[in-house]
Amino acid sequence: MSSSYLTTLSVIKIRLFHRLTKYFIVLAIALLSVFYDTFVWIMSTWYTYTISHGPVIFGASLYMIWTKRHQILNLLVRPNYLSGTAVTAIGCVMLVSGKLSSILLLQYLSVIVVILGLVLLIWGYNYFKYLWYPIGYNIFMFPVFTDLLGIISVHLQNIAAWIAYNLLMLIGIPVLRTSQFIELPNITLEVAKECNGINHIIALMAIAVPLAYWMQKTFLRKFIIISSAFFIGIFANGLRVALIGALAFYKKGSSLHGPYDIFYVSFIFFFGLVLLMAISLLLKRIPAKSEYGNQISENHTLSLHTRQTSHIALLFAAFLLFLTSGYLLLLKPMPVYLQMPMETFPKTVNKWTGQDTLFSELPFKSFLADIELKRIYRNNYGNEIKLYIGYFPLQYQGNEIVNYRFDPLQEGADIVEIPTSQGILRIKKTTNISGTLYFWYDINGRIITNRYAAKLTTIFDAFMSRRTNAAIVIVSAQRQRNANREDDRFDIEFIKNIFPITQTFLNSQTM
């Protein structure tokens, strides 16, 4: 294809772009109407310790697009209404769900999905093939992989210990391994949670994405580079632990992290980066056919029809976004209040007598419910149980029953089944410094113990009945960890008595 043809085509497209400016302004206003709060949240995270790398990721994403600008400008505009509308709609549903359930991560991800959908809808598949990679790269701005890998943290610790164990055995050092513990003749090492290497593995993957984009031609090779970053990071952590073990064995009394602390967790990133660069350079030396062929056909030129379709696509995209904004504004959930004040909750429950009090210890002080009941119940035998009920007429960001502040409540908690007159009651039980805790979520009469199920239930209620009200009930018995089963009898008895009352009380509501 002649260079003069490509130049002419580019000029025509640039002129058309200027003519479409007013439509792009409408689209920009529509985007802001939907994502203004989300954009503010995202930019505010750039000033935090954990996500201060956000501007770097965003800048790298823009630069990846800039490096392909000549190819992108020479692509034909072919709006894909079906796929574009579907992807954009999925992103809008994600945004609405994230706002209704106060899940910031879902709102963040919805931005990426909506932008990808708009690319498909307005410009078509040719543009999508070039832009999905740099746009999708922005996922590293958010703690997606941190949360996902955090779920398997203990497995990463065990893998690092296993790699270190085998490397130490390979060089002839006597060693034993039990889970994440490595026993040497003179010292026992633990691959603690803080040493799982997750942050540095993710950093390595974040470097691998633009590295693969600029140095590799095919999708397969890019995938190899990015996936190898993950496995290199895991191996590097195991190697780091092995080097610490070897140093502790041969140089007793020396610093565990080596001279100048070179074996800290940051070793994973720097060592992994060297390996990653070596693999990338090796792959680049092997000839490969570019995944992007000649995208422009001699038989295609920009016509008025193409221009008209662009108008329609831009307006339709703006319509979808304004529709989402209108839904969030006009059909937002309404607060649902209890019919009776919390103070009227019965103080006498069978053989238990209650007295209002204040709880200052964890986990009670973590909750910031709009309506709270804090009460101590005592029976004739001198047993004492604390009852906490937190009710939220309307959940919103920072004011919900499932929040990072309450994560310690879920850690180590097990399901307990209690037979009642209404059937089997399934709640959660955990033991910590506050004693033995039983707790459950009450969402419009549904008893839920799983935090994710609670979020999904909240989303369902918000969509179906415009309500996000919910409550959490905590029953606490001050006891030692080694308490006998006889002590649990009083807890179970109290829960059996209190449960039907909480059900009736919490589900007598008015909007």
In a domain? residue 290 = no
- Which domain-ending residue is among 223, 255, 285? 285
- With beta carbons less than 8 A apart as the criterion, state whether 268 and 237 touch: yes
Q: Name the residue range of residue 313's domain.
A: 3-142+299-330
pLDDT at residue number 300:
44
Same domain assignment for residues 84 and 230:
no
The residue among 44 and 381 whose pLDDT is bigger is: 44
Is residue 94 pLDDT above 50, yes or no? Answer: yes
Least confident of 125-134, 211-220, 406-415, 490-499: 406-415
In a domain? residue 196 = yes
Same domain assignment for residues 425 and 503:
yes
Same domain assignment for residues 353 and 390:
yes
In a domain? residue 397 = yes
Which residue's structure tokens are 């001279």?
259
Mean pLDDT of 339-345: 89
Peptide bond into 79 cis (omega under 30): no
Same domain assignment for residues 106 and 231:
no
Same domain assignment for residues 126 and 180:
no
The residue among 219 and 441 whose pLDDT is bigger is: 441
pLDDT at residue number 299:
41
- With beta carbons less than 8 A apart as the criterion, state whether 245 and 266 touch: no
The DSSP H or E segment spanning 274 is: helix 266-285
pLDDT at residue number 216:
84
pLDDT at residue number 144:
83
In a domain? residue 97 = yes
Burial (CB < 10 A; 0-12, 13-18, 19+), residue 233, is buried
Is residue 160 pLDDT above 80, yes or no? Answer: yes
The DSSP H or E segment spanning 435 is: strand 435-443
In a domain? residue 291 = no
The residue among 421 and 126 whose pLDDT is bigger is: 126
How would you write 21-40 as a 3-class SS string? HHHHHHHHHHHHHHHHHHHH
Mean pLDDT of 222-238: 90
Q: Average per-residue pLDDT in the chain?
A: 82
Most confident among 83-92, 183-192, 248-257, 422-431 (mean pLDDT): 83-92
Is residue 83 pLDDT above 90, yes or no? Answer: yes
- Both tokens of 297, joined, read 């056909």
Percent of the chain with pLDDT over 70: 84
- With beta carbons less than 8 A apart as the criterion, state whether 68 and 130 touch: yes
The residue among 196 and 325 whose pLDDT is bigger is: 325
Least confident of 125-129, 370-374, 406-410, 451-455: 406-410
Is residue 103 pLDDT above 60, yes or no? Answer: yes
Same domain assignment for residues 11 and 106:
yes
182 pLDDT tier (thresholds 50, 70, 90): confident
Q: How many domains, in total, are found in the chain?
A: 3
Same domain assignment for residues 344 and 435:
yes
Which residue's structure tokens are 């007013």?
22
Is residue 108 pLDDT above 50, yes or no? Answer: yes
- Which domain-ending residue is among 222, 254, 285? 285
Same domain assignment for residues 160 and 78:
no
Q: Spell out a b/e string for 27-61, using b for 16 or more CB atoms within 10 Å of the CB, else e.
A: beebbebbbeebeeebeebeeeeebeebeebbebb
Is residue 27 pLDDT above 50, yes or no? Answer: yes
pLDDT at residue number 76:
85
pLDDT at residue number 14:
59
Same domain assignment for residues 324 and 342:
no
Give Cα separations from 344 to 338, 340, 368, 510 (angstroms).
Answer: 11, 7, 20, 16
In a domain? residue 363 = yes
pLDDT at residue number 112:
96
Same domain assignment for residues 243 and 304:
no
| 111-120 tens-digit pLDDT | 999 999 999 9
pLDDT at residue number 4:
57
- With beta carbons less than 8 A apart as the criterion, state whether 508 and 340 touch: yes
> Which 3 state secondary structure label does DSSP give 270?
helix
The residue among 31 and 147 whose pLDDT is bigger is: 31
303 pLDDT tier (thresholds 50, 70, 90): very low
In a domain? residue 86 = yes
248 pLDDT tier (thresholds 50, 70, 90): confident
Is residue 89 pLDDT above 90, yes or no? Answer: yes
In a domain? residue 20 = yes
- With beta carbons less than 8 A apart as the criterion, state whether 438 and 474 touch: yes
293 pLDDT tier (thresholds 50, 70, 90): very low
**Ordered strands of the 176-178 beta sheet:** 176-178, 181-183, 188-190
| 361-411 tens-digit pLDDT | 666 666 678 888 999 998 887 788 899 999 999 988 778 888 777 777 777
The residue among 226 and 253 whose pLDDT is bigger is: 226
Same domain assignment for residues 107 and 39:
yes
pLDDT at residue number 433:
61
Burial (CB < 10 A; 0-12, 13-18, 19+), residue 362, is middle
Least confident of 40-44, 185-189, 218-222, 471-475: 185-189
Is residue 321 pLDDT above 90, yes or no? Answer: yes
Same domain assignment for residues 505 and 412:
yes
Is residue 47 pLDDT above 70, yes or no? Answer: yes
- DSSP line for 415-433: EEEEEETTEEEEEEEEEET
Mean pLDDT of 217-246: 89
